[in-house]
Amino acid sequence: VNNGLMHVFEHADVSVCLGAEVRRLDHAGGSVRSVSFVRNGKEYSVSGDLVVLGANAIQSPAIMLRSGLGGEFVGLGLHESYGWNYEVYLDGVDNFDGSTITTGLNFGLYDGPHRAEHAAALVYFENRWQHGMRAEKGRLRQVLPLVIVTENLLDPENRVILDKNENAFVSFKGASDYATKGMAKALERLPSLLKPLPVEQIFDRGIRPTESHVQGTLRMGTGPADSVVDRDMIHHRLRNLVVVGTSTYPSCSCANPSLTAAALSLRAASRLA
């Protein structure tokens, strides 16, 4: 999907190099001087006045670690929101009426004083058969797949490091107690939340392997004492290095982070314009 940006790629000053792996950022005197990458087994180097790093929350810190930029927070705090699958059998009400993959969001377990003790939860109504069809005549659509997602906390023990070949290696011990307690409380309150619906049975379909939005390994903040980049996504020490994407997130809500990531990238661009 080009999203109307093809004119950018067609510009005479823009080159796209596919199949390339960035290995390091060469830096001196408080700025990045060049970027080294490998393509088809050969190493190349390109230079520029501005470098934007957006290789996700696993590969971006790995590139910085290979570049000798492993400060106190680089690679630490790898996390994402914590998700669990449930499925509801409905009594006499059909589901799956089209629209997008998520047809509704319920904020009934979201904000409140409970967040001092455990995570907020967001309930997603799914418009797809994740767990197979209901094998009862005339009741095929009387199913409501749910995804419950909670906030999570950063933990320095969940991190990206380098292996012996200087490639990214993830060391991850699991979700925070804050997140898992929030999920347990959400399950306790789920029947009450669904009370307006004719619920026949609720099935626990298990933990989700990932929410596919890893974040937190190059967090933003006020200075090198608490973060890697500033509020404009610019590296605290290398002022011509901009880091974009969810690696910069210092916290984790239970909402999808993609729109905020796009907004932060636009913000960074506006600061540099």
Report the CATH number that the domain containing residue 42 is assigned in CATH. 3.50.50.60
CA angle at 100 for the pair 96 and 106, rounded to the nearest 5°: 80
- 28 pLDDT higher than 90: yes
Query: Is 75 exposed, middle or buried, given 0-12, 13-18 or 19+ CB atoms closer than 10 A?
Result: buried
In a domain, residue 1? The reply is: no
Q: Which two tokens stand for residue 226?
A: 């608490």
Residues 154 and 61 in one domain: no
Residues 47 and 114 in one domain: no
Residues 188 and 104 in one domain: yes
Residues 107 and 45 in one domain: no
Q: What is the tens place of the pLDDT at every residue in 137-148?
A: 999 999 999 999
Grade residue 2 by pLDDT with cuts at 50, 70 and 90.
Answer: low
Order across the sheet with 121-126: list the strands: 102-106, 121-126, 143-150, 82-90, 199-207
- Residue 170's φ and ψ, nearest 5 degrees, are -95, 125
Q: How far apart are CA 264 and CA 270, in angstroms?
A: 10
Residues 264 and 250 in one domain: yes
In a domain, residue 52? The reply is: yes
Residues 90 and 58 in one domain: no
Summarize the confidence of residues 68-76 as an average pLDDT.
93
CB–CB of 261/214 below 8 Å? Answer: no
Query: Is 256 exposed, middle or buried, given 0-12, 13-18 or 19+ CB atoms closer than 10 A?
Result: middle
Three-class SS of residue 9? helix
Residues 132 and 192 in one domain: yes
Enclosing domain of residue 256: 6-77+214-272
Q: Tell me how many domains the chain contains.
A: 2
Residues 69 and 91 in one domain: no
Percent of the chain scoring above 90 in pLDDT: 84
For residue 31, the tally of other CB atoms under 10 A from its CB is: 15
In a domain, residue 140? The reply is: yes
Residues 177 and 253 in one domain: no
Residues 104 and 195 in one domain: yes
